[in-house]
């Protein structure tokens, strides 16, 4: 499909081809689904929310619910206030959520709808809530939308008068339910009490029971969001996805946050556990020390296959930085490191990683990049492995390169949302996938007499 991609590169500033991201409302919708009995609401046309729901449904293989203000020509000219008022009434009457989380779209942002004023004028049923955030699709990416919606919940609901508690506010970043379950396991083993926002476990990885529930008995409780105002500290994982909610909590309730990279690999997970130990006062248990040892053992065992292999890593900025860290620990050379999300902070973070391993020379790092340009780089200088979302499968086919799917979205395979990438366990799984991909290619290409069964 992409065989005709040209090798000659022209600098593009106003055009993206095969983008390495999607729009802000997708992330806002995803964040809202992590709050219990919450209905995400798209303030725009029906076509917008249909795309956003489909995108999430294809990744998680679960229905992603959301409603819409259903703009027509009239709302586009005169504003969508009346549409929002009618929508909120219908949603509470028909679906009965506890809270509606409204996010904007290109259209409502362009015409300048003032959602804060609209919401203040709503007549809401008792004990029902409406919150909002601004998510113009032509700025940033789905990661920014996720951050804005998470911060929106805090701005509306976190209570600075909440009773002080020993719990830790925890912002997990833009990760899969499998990662959230691993976070919970690690914090449980470390004896850390927490409030997680958002929490998609049991929502976007709900078990099959034979009965559909629009609002599963899962997600972050509204009262727990209010209680964030009384936590003793907060831990924000992934600077791109979690800095905004951390800053919102500091501004509203005076709670200090530690902002950390996602805990990928040995060093990333070590730092995360040390921070949990500092917050809880508990030592790292032997169970986790053993997990660390098993990860290191795999890294040593498979080192002849990892060492010196070049790779291209792409996707969401926090995830890409984490995978790059793991790849460097494995002895690989990340040659191309890109994200579609804008922000020079990504280039700086990835650059520091590569410099720490003396691997910066010859590597290309770029934010606000696209997969067309990545493909052109690869055509000029090939790599041994691609690591990232499903959208590079055409590049992998055109250039005959092994491909490991990781991050968001994985649309063309099953089970990825259930499997963690973070922590020692997640890194063990990802390192195993990388080793399998490299060795599968060796088996495919080797002579018959070299096809070994025992390594």
Q: What is the pLDDT of residue 454?
A: 74
Name, in order, each residue with C-beta under 8 angstroms of 106's C-beta and a sequence gap of 6 or more: 23, 44, 48, 136, 137, 138
Q: What is the pLDDT of residue 231?
A: 97
**Pair of tokens at residue 435:** 């080793």
pTM of the model: 0.96
Q: What is the pLDDT of residue 16?
A: 86
Q: What is the pLDDT of residue 1?
A: 61
Note every long-range contact of 307-310, with CB atoms under 8 Å and residues 24 or more positions apart, other chains counting: 307/331, 307/332, 308/332, 308/333, 309/333, 309/384, 309/385, 309/438, 310/334, 310/335, 310/383, 310/384, 310/385
Euclidean distance between CA atoms 371 and 374, whole angstroms? 5
Domains and CATH numbers, the chain: 24-157 (3.40.50.1980), 168-286 (3.40.50.1980), 294-450 (3.40.50.1980)
User: Among residues 425, 349, 434, 351, which one has the least CA distance to residue 386?
Assistant: 434
Task: Give SS3 for 171.
Answer: strand
Query: E strand or H helix at 386, and its extent?
Result: strand 385-388
**Helices vs strands, H then E, count in the chain:** 18, 13
Q: Are 187 and 170 a contacting pair, CB within 8 Å? A: yes
Q: What is the pLDDT of residue 365?
A: 98
**CA angle 344–348–354, rounded 5-degree value:** 140
pLDDT in tens, the chain (455 residues): 677 888 888 888 888 888 999 999 999 999 999 999 999 999 999 999 999 999 999 999 999 999 999 988 877 777 788 999 999 999 999 999 999 999 999 989 888 889 999 999 999 999 999 999 999 989 999 999 999 999 999 999 999 999 999 999 999 999 999 999 999 999 999 999 999 999 999 999 999 999 999 999 999 999 999 999 999 999 999 999 999 999 999 999 999 999 999 999 999 999 999 999 999 999 999 999 999 999 999 999 999 999 999 999 999 999 999 999 999 999 999 999 999 999 999 999 999 999 999 999 999 999 999 999 999 999 999 999 999 999 999 999 999 999 999 999 999 999 999 999 999 999 999 999 999 999 999 999 999 988 888 76
Q: Are 153 and 35 a contacting pair, CB within 8 Å? A: yes
């Amino acid at each position: 499909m992409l065989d005709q991609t040209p090798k000659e590169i022209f600098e593009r500033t106003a055009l993206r081809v095969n983008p390495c991201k999607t729009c802000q409302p997708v992330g806002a919708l995803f964040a809202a689904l992590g709050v219990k009995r919450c209905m995400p609401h798209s303030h725009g046309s029906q076509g917008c929310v249909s795309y956003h729901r489909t995108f999430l449904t294809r990744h998680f293989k679960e229905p992603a619910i959301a409603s819409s203000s259903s703009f027509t020509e009239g709302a586009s000219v005169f504003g969508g206030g009346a549409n929002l008022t009618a929508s909120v009434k219908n949603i509470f009457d028909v679906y009965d959520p506890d809270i509606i989380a409204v996010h904007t779209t290109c259209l409502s942002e362009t015409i300048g709808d003032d959602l804060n004023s609209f919401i203040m004028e709503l007549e809401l049923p008792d004990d029902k809530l409406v919150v909002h955030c601004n998510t113009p699709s032509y700025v940033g990416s789905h990661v920014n939308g996720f951050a804005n919606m998470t911060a929106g919940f805090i701005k509306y609901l976190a209570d600075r008068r909440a009773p002080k508690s020993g719990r830790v506010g925890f912002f997990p970043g833009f990760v899969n339910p499998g990662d959230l379950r691993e976070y919970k396991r690690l914090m449980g083993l470390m004896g850390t009490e927490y409030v997680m926002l958002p929490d998609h476990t049991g929502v976007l990885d709900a078990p099959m029971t034979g009965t559909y529930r629009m609002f599963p008995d899962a997600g972050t409780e509204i009262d727990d969001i209010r209680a964030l105002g009384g936590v003793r500290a907060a831990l924000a994982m992934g600077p791109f996805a979690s800095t905004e909610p951390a800053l919102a909590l500091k501004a509203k309730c005076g709670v200090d946050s530690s902002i950390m990279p996602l805990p990928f690999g040995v060093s990333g997970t070590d730092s995360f556990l040390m921070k949990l130990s500092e917050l809880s006062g508990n030592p790292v248990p032997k169970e986790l020390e053993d997990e660390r040892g098993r990860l290191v053992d795999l890294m040593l065992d498979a080192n002849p296959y990892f060492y010196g292999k070049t790779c291209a890593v792409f996707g969401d900025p926090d995830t890409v930085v984490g995978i790059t860290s793991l790849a460097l620990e494995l002895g690989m050379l990340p040659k191309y490191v890109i994200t579609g999300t804008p922000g020079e902070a990504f280039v700086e973070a990835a650059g520091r990683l590569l410099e720490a391993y003396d691997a910066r020379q010859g590597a290309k790092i770029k934010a606000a990049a696209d997969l067309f340009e990545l493909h052109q780089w690869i055509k000029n200088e090939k790599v041994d492995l691609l690591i990232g979302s499903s959208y590079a499968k055409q590049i992998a086919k055109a250039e005959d390169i092994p491909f490991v799917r990781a991050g968001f979205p994985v649309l063309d395979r099953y089970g990825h949302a259930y499997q963690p990438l973070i922590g020692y366990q997640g890194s063990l799984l990802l390192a195993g996938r990388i080793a399998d991909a490299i060795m599968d290619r060796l088996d495919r290409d080797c002579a018959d007499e070299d096809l070994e069964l025992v390594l």
